[in-house]
Amino acid sequence: MGFVIAKALVPFLLSLLCFTVFSEKAESLPAQAPHHRGSYHHYPTAAPMSAPPSHAPSQAPTPHHHHHHRGHAPAPAPVHTPAHAPVHPPKPPMPPPVPAHFPRKLIAVQGVVYCKSCNYSGVDTLLGAKPVLGATVKLQCNNTKKPQDVKTTTDKNGYFLIKAPGTITNYGVHRCKVWLVSSPSTACSKITNLHGGLTGAILRPEKKPFVDEKKREFALFSVGPFAFESKCPR
């Protein structure tokens, strides 16, 4: 009886599961569904790396088997096909994971800020441009009633990385944009709209996540490169 219920639970549980754990879990589901059911809620948002220790399906040895094991042991042909056999082969093509099934992740945005060569005022090029140290950039997200802003400044390579507030996840990233805000030097301070630095840049997803010093994993996005413009001194 319990097994029938467990079986009925399988599709439901699978739908809850992150795609990556499917194959591992499907093996042990029928026998251990009641145990696992509780633990699914505890999985962290990151893909779980450690499988439960009790992974090997224990074939309960019967007295008959015992005798066979001592000598030459031909694999005993199962008389009863286990009722749960059909569950074992993993369903071949799972559809690609839809966004709704991705785990929620914190987000971080990176980019680089340049000072354009004075020779290219008004031209969208970074030929001869130099990275800017101390440029201010702003990430703004409109996921809540009040827009949430986070600002940061660039390092000597013109590079910046902004961690969005914890309330923003990859689910709401389309409500975020990044702006170039201000320059540390008056000589090169005109904000250009290169890659949306002036009007707000849309975040482009990166393949690899960003992991911070606390080992937290962020979905990483990129913007820019952004640029200020300078005028050639006469």
Ligand X SMILES: *[C@@H]1O[C@H](CO)[C@@H](O)[C@H](O)[C@H]1NC(C)=O
Give the range of 18-26, 105-113, 117-125, 210-218 binding ligand X by CB under 6 A: 117-125
* Locus of tokens 């019967």: 62
* Locus of tokens 């990859």: 170
CB 201 within 8 A of CB 228: no
Q: How many residues bind ligand X (CB under 6 A)?
A: 12
CB nearer to ligand X: pick between 36 and 130: 130
Choose, by CB under 6 A, the member of 20, 54, 119, 125 that binds ligand X: 119
Site string for ligand X, 197-216 (x = CB under 6 A): ---x----------------
| Residue 67, helix vs strand vs coil | helix
Residue 58 to residue 32: CA distance in whole angstroms? 12
Residue 170 to residue 203: CA distance in whole angstroms? 11
Confirm or reject binding of residue 117 to ligand X (CB under 6 A). Answer: yes
CB 25 within 8 A of CB 32: no
CB nearer to ligand X: pick between 30 and 158: 158
Whole-number minimum distance, CB 160 to ligand X, in Å? Answer: 17
CB nearer to ligand X: pick between 184 and 196: 196
The count of other CB atoms within 10 Å of the CB of residue 55 is: 9
Residues in region 123-182 near ligand X by CB under 6 A: 128, 140-142, 147, 175-177
Site string for ligand X, 88-107 (x = CB under 6 A): --------------------
Q: Are strands 106-115 and 217-222 parallel, antiparallel or unpaired?
A: parallel
| Residue 152, helix vs strand vs coil | strand
Cα end-to-end span (Å), the chain = 89
CB nearer to ligand X: pick between 105 and 177: 177
Give the range of 19-27, 106-114, 115-123, 207-215 binding ligand X by CB under 6 A: 115-123
CB nearer to ligand X: pick between 33 and 115: 115
Closest CA to 159 of 98, 118, 210, 91: 210
Whole-number minimum distance, CB 118 to ligand X, in Å? Answer: 5
Residue 33 to residue 9: CA distance in whole angstroms? 8
CB nearer to ligand X: pick between 54 and 119: 119
Whole-number minimum distance, CB 162 to ligand X, in Å? Answer: 13
CB nearer to ligand X: pick between 26 and 176: 176
CB 161 within 8 A of CB 117: no
Token readout for 104 is 């929620």
What is the binding site for ligand X (CB under 6 A)?
Answer: 117-119, 128, 140-142, 147, 175-177, 200
